[in-house]
Structure 1
Amino acid sequence: MSQDKTSFVYVTYIRSTPDKVFEAITQPDIARRYWGHENVSDWAPGSPWQHVRADEQRDVKLVGKVIEIAPPRRLVISWANPSQADDPAAASRVSFDIAEYDGMVRLTVTHDELQAGSGMATGIQKGWPIVLSSLKSLLETGQGIDVFAQPKAA
């Protein structure tokens, strides 16, 4: 019996260039400034990538492979918890589509092949909006936001 799948799509507009947006996604030193993690890979098709916490422990939080890469317009990666790295059925997919848009960049992030109702699906629905808001803030102002912030109790 197959599991139901779901997807998440987020579109944002950034006052930047496609090259700078692509670099922010793929360069560890930039990603740590808006994500608190580094995306580490050689970015060749088929290569592994790791999402590594940018702190003293350097925990690997996510793993996957580079599925497609066409700088600075498109990057597609698989996405899984390290404990599920050997199970292709457990992986989801993230596509970053970067397009020039009237002096800006339109960034579309599509996270699909997610198991509906899973902890991963719930986590990315909360995580992507703050991460991408932080990316936008970094590229437009030079400073990301705190992606680990929590809502204040009422």
Structure 2
Amino acid sequence: MIDNLKAELYEAAAMTFQEMGFVFLTEELEAEQIKAVFEAGVSLEFLGPFNGGLIVRVYGSMLPNIAANMMGIEGNPTVQFQHDALGEIANVICGNVLPRIGGANEIFHISAPDAAREYEKLLQRFPGEPAAQVTLGFEGGRAEISIYLTDERAA
């Protein structure tokens, strides 16, 4: 089940950012993307056959563009709309990756995303190392997606 977690997380995250945010992956991370400053992040929890959480962090200046693309508007959306867009991306990534690793017939309950502009606040939600983490490069920055498993099986 968990053997291919990183590959499944990468595929779900890449597809979600590209299809929902209308952004394209870069083949490799460039120096500008690596040096990009933390912009915002969201976290959510899931319960089901196994429990855990997902954190999506974006770096650089890509979030306003992603939110505008998702909303179909020109210009910069409000910070609240940007956080909502990132939360929706996190929901979709989680909703796509869980059936891939847990089984298509399993049922998971996903919490509402919690947005944070402080990097440390995000990491406090799930102490310890993630079960898998992927980094995606986009024009204007990068995204890091981490999945945490708090137990193998829920009661």
- The alignment's TM-score, normalised by the length of structure 2, stands at 0.30
More strand by share: 1
- The alignment's TM-score, normalised by the length of structure 1, stands at 0.30
